Structure 1
């Protein structure tokens, strides 16, 4: 079972990346789809989705080629991002295998209460088992990562903090924490060998909820992303406050649409799966 679990996560990230880009092509193929794509003026993605967002914005594009070579260009562009995503998945899996760790969603508590819950759990476990908020998703939904014992203590204590529920996430380990530190150097090396171009539209980073256009800065942020909490709540609130009118969720599932609706029930977001 352990081998099956490991292999599953090694292929999951590339599969999600390809499926998400397939959803872009599904949108492009429908009536008015290209006009919709051309009208998009900002993009972002949660965790792995940041790679899809960068691909959509042209950061992984090869230089301009003639129309006759458009298909070849598209395949080459896909391979650039896919190679990074494959290595990211392998590096994160290896980091997860090096220490017993886990992630859990805490449902029904505000941010302050989740932090208090983490602090309470951390008082009962050694330093190597401590937990932290890893995904700031939306009010009432925060993901916590850390050592397996720390996560288990947090789950036990959650009811006393009046959490509605906790949901152990089906991931390989404590993503977006220092548990992923062994993956950083491998990502840095791969990114250093990859040509990243200036995105044609802003791509908001998970690390600081800010857009970045400089290719070298994007490389540094992508390497830091695996050990940094995902600032998704801030990203969504910033977009809505700046007047976001219409958005599209491209890829498997409807998680992003649900999160945005939690922040703003009236938000106009359309899910397009492949």
Structure 2
């Protein structure tokens, strides 16, 4: 991939938009095959939900998760098809749900196992949200040490450390109210509830993680051909048992996104490609380091831009 160091990044939940990936479906045979394969794997027309469903339908966790993963993998397959070769970045990483997409592109999971797992993950998270209601809040303007203190005081959880001063917490809603109040008193510029269905990446997901682990144990993992920067450690993993263990711990532990990006920067990564719908990760990366080269590949024109830049 030329002489520059490149990382492929894959988005998580909240990146979905109705109609996403439709131009990939229309213009790339390789991408179209991914959508068709996802429909076959799930035994339902997920592609119809993605292309024609309402925002509300697409936002439901059991739809959002396989939909985002499918669009991300379709974009990746379109890239490889247009390039006529397998693309091997220096690193890959995905934010929460996006970690599953990164495993598919790194050769650790088949597309079938990836879609199966993210679909089951979405179902189990939805179930956990109903059984143990909770929420998430964004704390902006104070560092992780201060937010950790807030969590310890209020019975909430560190959920995502997205940048040094954009941190997501999760927990029971009454505890989050107390946490947001305390964070504001400690100097947070903003402390706002997020429009999500539950307390993701927290102890309230323990039941979902336990059930999901049974499915993870049945999936076939291979050693990754690209180092995956793990959500829970911000360190590279390739060995299949480490990859499996990462997924078996991810759902109830904090996503160390800022540390993951900083690790790749320390390894001299020059360019980050966000592959899939939206630009949430690109925005985070620019807040971590505004000098970084960050590009999106979520539609067919952006696939062609990538091909031109690599030719």
Counterparts in 2 of 1:113-192, with a 5 A limit?
113-120=146-153, 122=154, 130-192=155-217
Deviations along 1:150-191, one digit per CA (max 9) or x if unpaired, are 111122333322222123222221111111110122222111
**C-alpha displacement of 1:233:** 1.2
Shift of 1:113: 2.5
- Residue 38 of structure 1 aligns to a residue in which SS? coil
Asked whether 1:13 is paired with 2:65, we answer yes
Q: How many residues align?
A: 244
After superposition, what is the alpha-carbon deviation per residue over 1:129-164, rounded to whole angstroms, capped at 9, x for unaligned? x20211011111000011111111122333322222
Aligned to 1:82: 115
Alignment partners' CA distance in 2, 1:247 and 1:6? 27
State the match for 2:49 in structure 1: none
Whether the aligned pair in 2 keeps the contact of 1:6 and 1:93 (CA below 8 Å) is: no
Counterpart for residue 74 of structure 2: 22
1:248 paired with 2:273, answer yes
Q: Corresponding residue for 1:211?
A: 236
The more displaced of 147-156 and 10-19 is 147-156
Structure 2 unaligned segments of length 5 or more: list them.
1-55, 300-311
Cα distance, 1:18 vs structure 2: 0.7
**Aligned-residue offset at 1:79:** 2.2
SS at match of 1:136: strand
CA shift in 2, pair 1:6/1:182, >3 Å = farther
RMSD over aligned Cα atoms: 2.0
**In structure 2, how many angstroms separate the alpha carbons of the residues matched to 1:133 and 1:251?**
26
1:34 is displaced (CA, Å) by 5.2
Q: 1:26 Cα deviation (Å)?
A: 4.0
TM-score relative to the length of structure 1: 0.83
In structure 2, the partner of 1:197 is 222
1:188–1:219 contact (8 Å) kept in structure 2: no
| One of 278, 282, 289 as aligned partner of 1:257 | 282
Q: Which residue of 2 aligns with 1:110?
A: 143
Distance 2:202 2:57 in 1: 21
The DSSP-based 3-state class of the residue aligned with 1:206 is: coil
Q: Tell me the residue number matched to 2:103.
A: 54
Q: Which residue pairs with 1:74 in the alignment? A: none
1:73 is matched with: none
Unaligned runs of 5+ in 1: 62-77, 123-129
Please state if 1:44 is matched with 2:69: no
Indicate if the aligned counterparts of 2:61 and 2:125 stay in contact, CA closer than 8 A.
no
Question: Is the contact between residue 204 and residue 211 of structure 1 (CA under 8 Å) also seen in structure 2?
Answer: yes
Q: Residue 220 in 1 paired to residue 272 in 2?
A: no
TM-score, length of structure 2 as denominator length: 0.73
